[in-house]
């Protein structure tokens, strides 16, 4: 899906966590602009990487600053932004009683993908992450790497224009790490 416009901009993003006794600045005036491509954030634990991703996705409020998609404030875009967003959190909080297929169909419904398209979308993303043959298994039977691939598949549903993935290859075996990196590299031509 080629995009005419595809720019993510962070303007002076700041996040301070406060308690009664202390305050900790996780982000201090972060600003940058990204166009189509594949980007990685590197830094030590506690550097604010996950905090920044959670602010971009709307899961956390910034103390100050803005996140813009093609010049529009993502907070004001609301559902419009969430429809073009694919997000893969670092944590694997999944419903163990769901099958892989049921989980992906549930995420497709949350993303407002029409029912008529959902089954094909689920099959497409399952193939991308090499999980097609595992979709009827309950998530309780999935290994950690399979759960990680399922979260990647969920993020890819709806062909998002922007993918935010927090440590997407953690827990994957070497073969699957290479496969996921290849998928992401192919997608990076016309999205972020």
pLDDT tens, 41-68?
998 988 899 999 999 999 999 999 999 9
Share of the chain above pLDDT 90, in %: 77
Q: Is 106 within the bounds of a domain? A: yes
> At 93, which CATH number?
3.40.50.300
Structure tokens at 158: 């709806």
pLDDT bin (cut points 50, 70, 90) of residue 2 is very low
Work out the angle at residue 67's Cα, subtended by the Cα atoms of residues 167 and 55, and round it to the nearest 5 degrees.
45
Q: Is 104 within the bounds of a domain? A: yes
Work out the angle at residue 6's Cα, subtended by the Cα atoms of residues 27 and 178, and round it to the nearest 5 degrees.
75
Q: With the C-alpha atoms ordered 104, 108, 111, 117, is the resulting torsion angle positive or negative? A: positive
Q: What is the pLDDT of residue 4?
A: 56
Q: Is 32 within the bounds of a domain? A: yes
pLDDT tens, 119-159?
999 999 999 999 999 999 999 999 999 999 999 999 999 98
Considering the entire predicted model, what is its pTM? 0.88
Q: Domain of 100?
A: 8-187
Q: Is 1 within the bounds of a domain? A: no
pLDDT bin (cut points 50, 70, 90) of residue 3 is very low
Q: Is 72 within the bounds of a domain? A: yes
Structure tokens at 191: 């999205």
Contact criterion met (CB below 8 Å) for 68 and 9:
yes
Buried-state track 85-114, b at ≥16 Cβ within 10 A, e below 16: bbbbbeeeebeeebbbbbbbbebbeebebe
**Number of domains comprising the chain:** 1
Ranges of beta strands (E only) in the chain are 8-18, 23-34, 64-69, 72-73, 85-88, 162-165
Q: Is 2 within the bounds of a domain? A: no
Could you give the angle at which helices 144-156 and 115-128 cross, rounded to 10 degrees?
130
Contact criterion met (CB below 8 Å) for 163 and 184:
yes
Q: Is 192 within the bounds of a domain? A: no
DSSP 160: -
Q: Is 3 within the bounds of a domain? A: no
Task: Give me the count of residues in the chain.
Answer: 192
Q: What is the pLDDT of residue 70?
A: 95
């Amino acid at each position: 899906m080629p995009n005419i416009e595809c720019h993510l901009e962070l303007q002076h993003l700041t996040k301070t966590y406060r308690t009664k006794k202390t305050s900790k600045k996780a982000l201090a005036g972060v600003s940058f602009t990204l166009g189509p491509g594949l980007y990685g954030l590197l830094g030590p634990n506690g550097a604010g990487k996950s905090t920044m991703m959670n602010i971009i996705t709307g899961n956390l409020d910034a103390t100050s600053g803005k996140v813009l998609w093609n010049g529009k404030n993502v907070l004001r875009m609301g559902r419009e932004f969430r429809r073009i967003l694919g997000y893969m959190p670092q944590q694997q909080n999944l419903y163990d009683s769901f099958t892989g297929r049921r989980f992906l169909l549930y995420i497709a419904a949350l993303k407002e993908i029409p029912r008529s398209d959902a089954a094909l979308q689920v099959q497409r993303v399952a193939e991308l992450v090499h999980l097609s043959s595992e979709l009827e298994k309950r998530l309780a039977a999935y290994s950690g790497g399979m759960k990680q691939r399922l979260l990647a598949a969920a993020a890819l549903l709806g062909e998002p224009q922007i993918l935010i993935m927090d440590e997407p290859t953690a827990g994957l075996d070497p073969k699957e790490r290479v496969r996921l990196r290849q998928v992401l590299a192919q997608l990076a031509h016309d999205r972020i």
